[in-house]
Amino acid sequence: MTGAAPQARGTYDGSFVPSVQGLRGIAALSVLMDHFYDMPKGGVYDIPDPGFLPPLWPWLQSTINVGGHGVELFFMISGFLIPASLVRHGSLPKFFFDRVMRIMPVFVVLHFALFVIGPIVGYKFFRGIDVASYLGIFTANLFFLQDALGLPIAQQNAWTLTYEWAFYIWFALTFVAIRLGGRAMAGPLILLGFACVFHWPITAFFCVGMLFSAVGFRIHIPGVPGLVAGLMCGAAMYASLVLFHPFVGLIPGVLLFGMVLATGSGIGRALSTPALQYVGKISYSLYLVHPFVLFPLQVIGLKFVAAGVDRWLLWAAFILIGLAMSLIASAISYELIEVRLRRRLDGALRSLFFRPLGKMEQSVSS
């Protein structure tokens, strides 16, 4: 598989889609919103504490608490982008090298930071931990095996990377199997994919993105009606994920993503605004970095509430300061790690990594 394979009519060609960038920003902000609700409830050190979340109206609790389902938006985006990325790279080694360069630098930097600082501040599972357990949790989380081994997750949001890597590996193997031996050879992998979807229903959202990557169908509703329709489908998707089942959420998810991808649609134009484009650009750092930013604010909030400061005031300050600091820290992470460090690693490792893999590339060439 060398070079860029010809695109079938209607398939996504890998070009930049501003509305998808904006949707990525919405997904990250959605998860951030959920942590604005969850972290003030307390439990910083895995011991009971009152927290500083004020008494909220039930409708507001429900609205904020759905934010964690921004991960399904990320899964749809990955399902849409990854097929074209594999074709564009032209080989499995290059594809996976790019994925490692995209995913791992920020994750690894934060991973080491957590395992150095966590024991010092007594963060959660580091309290009273022995060396063997420390090394086990460190290694399992580094290779995304913590769930399989029944160990604590270190980085609060990194659980989704396990699903991302599983999807990359499954899709790449299935793609190569189809290219080399047709659907008969890929049959077991396709069946495995169906089994995973039924066992982990949220992985079905990868299929939504894959569907739109393979076909040219889009839902074009321009102007304000398109914006309203997109917002309603987004709200329906989130509500379905909470109230019903992920499979029910697929219906509004498909409608939403079809409108997001349509050129000139109302929701697409809204997602293409400069502010959301920038948040989308730094969204991966924002997704991983913000729990590190919010943690010290959470600790400070607990101290202030113990001193009698009003919970509403503390929560408002937590949101405003947390949002500003998360965006600033994510912008720094993006520039220093995702851009500069990645560029250095790419330059240092690319020739070293691919020279011994020339024969492997030839073996999957078409």
Is residue 5 very low, low, confident or very high in pLDDT (cuts 50, 70, 90)? Answer: very low
pLDDT digits over 81-109, tens only? 999 999 888 889 999 999 999 999 999 99
CB 31 within 8 A of CB 70: yes
Could you please report the per-residue DSSP string of 353-365? Answer: HHGGGHHHHHHT-
Residue 41 has pLDDT above 70, yes or no: yes
Q: What is the CA radius of gyration of the chain?
A: 22
Contacts of 279 (CB under 8 A, 6+ apart): 22, 25, 28, 29, 286, 327
Could you please report the per-residue DSSP string of 330-360? Answer: HHHHIIIIIIIIHHHHHHHHHHHHHGGGHHH
Q: Is the model's pTM score more than 0.85?
A: yes
Contacts of 244 (CB under 8 A, 6+ apart): none
Which of 226-230, 324-328, 344-348 shows the lowest per-residue confidence on average (mean pLDDT)?
344-348
Please check whether residue 11 lies inside any domain of the structure. Answer: no
Please check whether residue 6 lies inside any domain of the structure. Answer: no
Highest mean pLDDT among 14-18, 57-61, 275-279: 275-279
Is residue 355 very low, low, confident or very high in pLDDT (cuts 50, 70, 90)? Answer: low
| DSSP helix/strand/coil, 30 | helix
Separation CA 308–CA 314 (nearest Å):
10
CB 61 within 8 A of CB 37: yes
CB 75 within 8 A of CB 206: yes
Which of 55-59, 165-169, 224-228 shows the lowest per-residue confidence on average (mean pLDDT)?
55-59
pLDDT digits over 331-343, tens only? 999 999 999 999 9
Number of Cβ within a 10 Å radius of residue 190? 14
Contacts of 178 (CB under 8 A, 6+ apart): 185, 186
Is residue 47 very low, low, confident or very high in pLDDT (cuts 50, 70, 90)? Answer: low
Is residue 366 very low, low, confident or very high in pLDDT (cuts 50, 70, 90)? Answer: very low
CB 309 within 8 A of CB 300: no
Is residue 324 very low, low, confident or very high in pLDDT (cuts 50, 70, 90)? Answer: very high
Please name which of 129, 128, 161, 168 lies closest in space to residue 147, comparing C-alpha atoms: 161
- pLDDT on residue 128: 82
CB 51 within 8 A of CB 300: no
| DSSP helix/strand/coil, 43 | coil
Residue 363 has pLDDT above 50, yes or no: no
Which of 123-127, 198-202, 237-241, 265-269 shows the lowest per-residue confidence on average (mean pLDDT)?
123-127
Residue 115 has pLDDT above 70, yes or no: yes
Separation CA 126–CA 137 (nearest Å):
10
Contacts of 193 (CB under 8 A, 6+ apart): 170, 174
Q: Where are the beta strands (DSSP E) in 250-307?
A: none
Please check whether residue 153 lies inside any domain of the structure. Answer: yes
- pLDDT on residue 7: 41
Q: Which residues span the domain enclosing 64? A: 18-363
Residue 126 has pLDDT above 90, yes or no: no
CB 2 within 8 A of CB 366: yes
- pLDDT on residue 352: 79
Please check whether residue 52 lies inside any domain of the structure. Answer: yes
Please check whether residue 299 lies inside any domain of the structure. Answer: yes
Compare 184 and 208 and report the one with higher pLDDT. 208
Compare 204 and 147 and report the one with higher pLDDT. 204
End-to-end CA distance of the chain: 5
Number of structural domains found in the chain: 1
CB 267 within 8 A of CB 303: no
Is residue 359 very low, low, confident or very high in pLDDT (cuts 50, 70, 90)? Answer: very low
Is residue 6 very low, low, confident or very high in pLDDT (cuts 50, 70, 90)? Answer: very low
Separation CA 286–CA 327 (nearest Å):
7
Please check whether residue 13 lies inside any domain of the structure. Answer: no
- pLDDT on residue 323: 98
Residue 44 has pLDDT above 70, yes or no: no
292-308: string of b/e by CB count within 10 Å (b at 16+)? bbbbebbeebbebbeee
Please name which of 337, 315, 314, 334 lies closest in space to residue 326, comparing C-alpha atoms: 334
- pLDDT on residue 204: 97
Please check whether residue 258 lies inside any domain of the structure. Answer: yes
